[in-house]
Structure 1
Amino acid sequence: MLLSILMGKRSSVRKPADIPYECGMIPMGEGAPMFSVKFYMVAMLFVIFDLEVVFLYPWAVNFRDYVMMNPESFTAMCIFIGILLVA
């Protein structure tokens, strides 16, 4: 490796050694902007709670029928909503 460093040809294109190697092309511009972690957290929470509404809406539409036929469904849904509130 020492001989390679001493006798090897130096590239005049890639002067700063700390730039990333992009398939032989000189990088132009700053690249993709970095997003905050907060953005991803809000997006994941939105998707999660959106899915919860999908499960909650049919139950809310048929609330009276469910509770009259099966009173345990009200308890189960209260537990479900309680978990959502804790989250």
Structure 2
Amino acid sequence: MSPKIRQLFDKYHGTLTSKLVSQVGVKRASLDYLVRIGEITKDYPGVYVLKGDFPDEYFWRSSIYKGVFSHETALFL
């Protein structure tokens, strides 16, 4: 795994989206390669998670849906 991709995973707590990765200049093919060799998993369409980590469902939802979190969800975040 390249240092740049590792740094992004560290910054975003083990969960990345293909949109975020393309914004910083990393090709999605790099993520597809990491999925093929088993270093990361693709848990949702466009969402990549480090192997052994749990996907951050709220990160995924916030990257797709724009809205307001409230009550227990806001407390969790």
Query: What TM-score does the superposition give when structure 2 sets the normalisation length?
Result: 0.25
Larger RCO: 1 or 2 (CA < 8 Å, sep 6+): 2
Q: Which has the higher strand share?
A: 2
Q: Which of the pair has more CA radius of gyration?
A: 1
1 or 2, which has the higher helix percentage?
A: 1
